Amino acid sequence: MNQNIEQLIIKFLNKSASVSELDLLEKLLEDKNNQVVFKELVRVNHLLNRTVFDIQSEDLLQVLLEKLRNEKKQSLRVKRNKRITYVAAAVLIMSLGIGLFMRKYTTSDSLKPVIINSNINVGTNKAVLTLEDGSNITLEKGNQYKAENVQSNGEKLVYHEDKTAINALDVRYNTLTIPRGAQFYLQLPDSTKIWLNSDSQLRYPTTFRKAETRSIELVYGEIYLEVAPSKKHNGMHFKVRSRDQEVEVLGTEFNIKAYKEEQKTYTTLVNGSISLHVDGNVKLLHPNEQAVVSLNQSIKISPIEVYDEISWKDGVFSFKGKTLEKIMTVLSRWYDIDFIFENPSLKGMKFVGVLGKNQEITEILKTLKNIGTITNYQINDKTVILK
């Protein structure tokens, strides 16, 4: 295999090619033999995300060449020697370094996966609704639920404004719990939209009073919110309480992640503005920023690639610079499984790319094995051992 063309292709996919290298790559890809190398390298070392892009194999070359040309033109207009910014959501890239990519990977028949008893399913829409009186209602596909100002088709739960109860003295609260291996959509009576990720719990009132702040509580887990503007609700602000912090908004879109087993709370702002209240300190968050609150209540605000944080609500896991250990933590919630690293050194492997949430876990594991990240894996009921 032509070492030069392979190295250029890898640098293109791994976001490290210069403009001059992209020029050379484009010229080399005029050769049909090099095109074969290009497509084979992508096929072997990367997994196309069929959930986000429906790209046929014969169209792959033209799609990526078009990205190459467009990004090169844009880069030249800005600064000739600037590194290219890539749109790489179409491929899953394991950041193992060029040396590892240069290997010719083959799947060994002598190292077939050991599947003793697989009981792993792709996540689905499911939740448990706990009413004020403590009774529980399971919400899942095929189960219809309707009561007063709320109804569910098993895939989402929608509350409607109850005008007769708005000024009542007693406000009733419901709790929505999303188990591992599930997700759910909730619409509050003020039309605020909330997406709840796996292993999450939210407590909220079944109606909002006109003269009071709209307030809900993320008990644990992760949610994405599109808050109904305050101007449509008599100027009343909207607050989200979560572990050691409170977020106040007028009307915006943001994400909060506060899982029980994680020691930090992550708040990511998509648009609008929010104020973060932590132990008497108030910080203003701007779009494309993330606030990280530690257990000692320190606050760190940094710019962030928003899509990497919120793509889960659109059916995509987007990872950038995440270790394999952190990725498996996310996947364990979605597939309701446990991962064991037989080789501890695997935990620090870095990852860039996307995964469709409708992919079978065996597809992901097979790819990790084929590109050499793991030598093998074993599945026993809901436990996966990475070797």
Q: Is residue 97 part of a domain?
A: no
Instruction: Please choose, from the candidates 342, 328, 339, the residue with its C-alpha nearest in 3D space to the C-alpha of residue 374.
Output: 342
Q: Write the pLDDT tens digit of every residue in 328-367.
A: 999 999 999 999 999 898 998 877 667 778 888 998 888 7
> Are 234 and 303 part of one and the same domain?
yes
Integer Cα distance of 194 and 67 in angstroms = 34
Q: Where are the beta strands (DSSP E) in 200-244?
A: 200-205, 214-226, 238-242
Which residue matches tokens 């909330």?
A: 194
Please report the pLDDT score of residue 115 as a whole number: 82
> Are 134 and 27 part of one and the same domain?
no
Domain boundary among 276, 310, 344: 310
Give me the number of domains the chain comprises. Answer: 3
> Are 36 and 161 part of one and the same domain?
no
Integer Cα distance of 232 and 255 in angstroms = 22
Please report the pLDDT score of residue 40 as a whole number: 60
Q: Is residue 165 part of a domain?
A: yes
> Are 298 and 352 part of one and the same domain?
no
Q: Is residue 101 part of a domain?
A: no
Please report the pLDDT score of residue 13 as a whole number: 61
Q: Is residue 96 part of a domain?
A: no
Please report the pLDDT score of residue 220 as a whole number: 98
DSSP assignment letter at 316: E
User: Both tokens of residue 24?
Assistant: 């050379």
> Are 204 and 345 part of one and the same domain?
no
Could you report how far apart the first and last alpha carbons of the chain are, in Å? 29
Cβ atoms of residues 25 and 9 within 8 Å = yes
CATH number, domain of 350, equals 3.55.50.30
> Are 208 and 148 part of one and the same domain?
yes
Instruction: Please choose, from the candidates 324, 323, 301, 297, the residue with its C-alpha nearest in 3D space to the C-alpha of residue 386.
Output: 324
CATH number, domain of 278, equals 2.60.120.1440
> Are 166 and 294 part of one and the same domain?
yes
Please report the pLDDT score of residue 62 as a whole number: 61
Cβ atoms of residues 206 and 229 within 8 Å = no
> Are 265 and 165 part of one and the same domain?
yes
Domain boundary among 293, 310, 327: 310
Helix segments in the chain, DSSP class H: 3-13, 19-28, 32-45, 57-78, 98-101, 306-310, 324-335, 361-370
Amino acid at 382: K
Domain boundary among 272, 289, 310: 310
Please list the pLDDT of the chain residue by residue as tens digits (387 residues): 454 676 677 666 655 567 777 778 878 888 888 777 776 655 544 433 333 333 344 455 565 666 566 555 555 544 433 332 233 333 343 333 322 333 333 444 447 787 877 889 999 999 999 999 999 999 998 899 999 889 999 999 999 987 665 555 578 899 999 999 999 999 999 999 999 999 999 999 998 887 788 999 999 999 999 999 887 777 688 999 999 899 999 779 999 999 999 999 999 999 999 999 999 899 999 999 999 999 888 999 999 988 889 989 988 888 777 889 999 999 999 999 999 999 898 998 877 667 778 888 998 888 778 767 788 999 999 999 999
> Are 174 and 215 part of one and the same domain?
yes
Q: Write the pLDDT tens digit of every residue in 35-58.
A: 777 766 555 444 333 333 333 444
> Are 298 and 330 part of one and the same domain?
no
> Are 306 and 343 part of one and the same domain?
no
> Are 132 and 257 part of one and the same domain?
yes
- Domain range enclosing 68: 3-91
Backbone angles phi, psi at 304, to 5 degrees: -145, 150
Q: Is residue 99 part of a domain?
A: no
Integer Cα distance of 19 and 150 in angstroms = 57
